């Protein structure tokens, strides 16, 4: 049971306030628009209790958020002016047959002025851990009480509303997890770049976009020079670290709309939408110099590596297929290797 602590700004706070607020935030409902499922439960509460007003609320640190409303559409109100802030202090919720006769509530704006509420009955939304997040409540402009059947039904609706809150929160968590899983599925674990499937899918999309809108785009193939020797002389762990470092250099140098991916082994690839071949050559030369100037310190070993670059582009009025673009970039990469490596060819 969560007992009340000292009064703060007129309304006591529960002893579990910190954990309760964490649970309220975890619902991800604060500030969200109305939803039919919650509206239905609020409407059912009003109908079963023969009440002109019904609400589903969440009590945040300083505000009370109304997720569903019947009979009145209030803006988020101050917690210290809210009957629901009092309801979450009680195990069974707040029941007041005449608010105007209760010194705690008689001066509240909604009791003293419009809509001049008199009766309030709230059933709390309670988590499995016992934290009271808010209420399903009904109100009337005439003093009265709910009969036992109505009180029981209102408590049942509060449990249904809590189940809906938890289900909605779970859906949100699953959506986040699914997004993370999708992102992971398209990522090369070693380099952190796009994997082959993600890379080729994006490349096909950008080639089609360049063809449809007659805009330039370029692709750059990057191959680490003599990388097989790095693995043979220094070990695969060192080779993996070099690949991770180079992958980070590519990723950090590109614009947000560009994509860097691992095509195969030590061969990496850049997709540069909206970039003509001349611009791609500048990007490639900058990266070539950055890679060549990097000293890798891996497992007490120090080494440097270089990379060869092959650039191919699509120019307006000269469309290419994805296969032709990759073939052209690969031919340029072969020339870079044949001409001494640590070079850029287009």
Q: Give me the pLDDT at residue 317, please.
A: 86
Kindly list the averaged pLDDT for each block of 10 residues, start to end, along the chain of length 346.
Answer: 45 93 92 92 96 96 94 85 95 95 92 94 95 97 96 96 87 67 72 89 90 91 92 84 91 90 91 93 95 85 91 89 94 95 94
* Host H or E run for residue 81: none
Burial of 223 (0-12, 13-18, 19+ CB in 10 A): buried
Q: Give me the pLDDT at residue 73, please.
A: 80
Q: Give me the pLDDT at residue 325, please.
A: 94
Burial of 230 (0-12, 13-18, 19+ CB in 10 A): buried
**What residues contact residue 322 under an 8 Å CB cut-off, 6+ apart?**
200, 203, 204, 207
Q: Give me the pLDDT at residue 159, please.
A: 95
Q: Give me the pLDDT at residue 234, please.
A: 84
Angstrom distance (rounded) from CA 322 to CA 32? 44
Q: Give me the pLDDT at residue 182, please.
A: 55
Q: Give me the pLDDT at residue 178, please.
A: 67
Angstrom distance (rounded) from CA 46 to CA 48? 6
Angstrom distance (rounded) from CA 74 to CA 310? 63
* Host H or E run for residue 42: helix 36-48
Q: Give me the pLDDT at residue 233, please.
A: 83
Alpha-carbon Rg for the chain in angstroms: 32
Domains of the chain: 4-183 (3.30.450.40), 196-345 (3.30.70.270)
Q: Could you give the residue numbers annotated as active site?
A: 266
Contact 120, 96 (CB under 8 A): yes
Q: Give me the pLDDT at residue 3, please.
A: 45
Residue 131, preceding bond cis, omega within 30 degrees?
no
């Amino acid at each position: 049971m969560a007992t009340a602590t000292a009064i703060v700004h007129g309304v006591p706070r529960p002893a579990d306030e910190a954990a309760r607020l964490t649970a309220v935030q975890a619902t991800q409902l604060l500030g969200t628009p109305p939803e039919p499922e919650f509206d239905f439960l609020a409407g059912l509460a009003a109908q079963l209790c023969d009440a002109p007003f019904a609400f589903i609320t969440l009590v945040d640190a300083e505000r009370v958020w109304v997720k569903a409303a019947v009979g009145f559409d209030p803006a988020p109100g101050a917690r210290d002016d809210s009957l629901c802030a009092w309801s979450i202090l009680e195990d069974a919720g707040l029941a007041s047959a005449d608010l105007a006769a209760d010194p705690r509530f008689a001066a509240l704006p909604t009791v003293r002025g419009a809509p001049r509420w008199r009766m309030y009955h709230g059933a709390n939304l309670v988590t499995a851990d016992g934290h009271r997040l808010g209420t399903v409540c009904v109100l009337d402009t005439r003093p009265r009480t709910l009969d036992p059947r109505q009180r029981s039904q209102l408590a049942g609706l509060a449990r249904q509303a809590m189940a809906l809150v938890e289900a909605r929160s779970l859906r949100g968590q699953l959506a986040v997890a699914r997004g993370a899983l999708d992102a992971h599925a398209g990522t090369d674990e070693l380099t952190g770049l796009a994997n082959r499937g993600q890379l080729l899918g994006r490349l096909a999309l950008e080639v089609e976009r360049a063809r449809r809108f007659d805009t330039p785009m370029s692709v750059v193939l990057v191959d680490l020079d003599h990388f097989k020797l790095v693995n043979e002389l220094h070990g695969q762990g060192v080779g993996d670290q070099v690949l991770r470092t180079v992958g980070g250099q590519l990723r950090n140098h590109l614009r947000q709309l560009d994509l860097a991916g691992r095509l195969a082994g030590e061969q990496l690839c850049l997709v540069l939408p909206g970039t003509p071949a001349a611009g791609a050559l500048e990007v490639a030369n900058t990266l070539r110099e950055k890679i060549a100037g990097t000293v890798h310190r891996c497992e007490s070993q120090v080494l440097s590596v270089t990379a060869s670059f092959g650039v191919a582009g699509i120019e307006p009025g000269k469309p290419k297929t994805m296969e032709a673009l990759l073939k052209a970039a690969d031919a340029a990469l072969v020339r870079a290797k044949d001409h001494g490596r640590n070079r850029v060819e287009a």
